Amino acid sequence: IQLTQSPSLLSASVGDRVTLSCKGSQNINNYLAWYQQKLGEAPKLLIYNTNSLQTGIPSRFSGSGSGTDYTLTISSLQPEDVATYFCYQYNNGLTFGSGTKLEIK
């Protein structure tokens, strides 16, 4: 399964509601996770099984979706959210999306 993330680059203001998209080439059956990777750091798990928040992750992060289309939403963008976000499917094989780089405007 191939994953297409959009946009590749997103610039938003502090406090904005931000939505990142991930589309699969086939049905992912909700086996979709999201990772945050800050510059020079390892990826950090944010969301798994489409909408389950990983322990310790702020509640401003949420996930949704079904079938082939999934979304990561940040309800109120904070400066520390600057990072690249990757989606990841584990329904059929293990593949990552190409990432969305999130910047502060």
Q: Contact positions toward other proteins, by CB under 8 A?
A: 31, 33, 35, 41-45, 48-49, 54, 86, 88, 90, 94-99
- Please identify, using beta-carbon distances, which residue of 35 and 74 lies nearer to other proteins: 35
The CB-based long-range contact list for 36-40 (8 Å cut-off, 24+ gap) reads 36/81, 36/83, 36/84, 36/85, 37/83, 37/84, 37/85, 37/86, 37/99, 38/82, 38/83, 39/83
Q: How far apart are CB 88 and other proteins at their closest, in Å?
A: 7
- Please identify, using beta-carbon distances, which residue of 8 and 19 lies nearer to other proteins: 8
Q: How far apart are CB 45 and other proteins at their closest, in Å?
A: 5
- Please identify, using beta-carbon distances, which residue of 41 and 79 lies nearer to other proteins: 41
SS3 65: strand
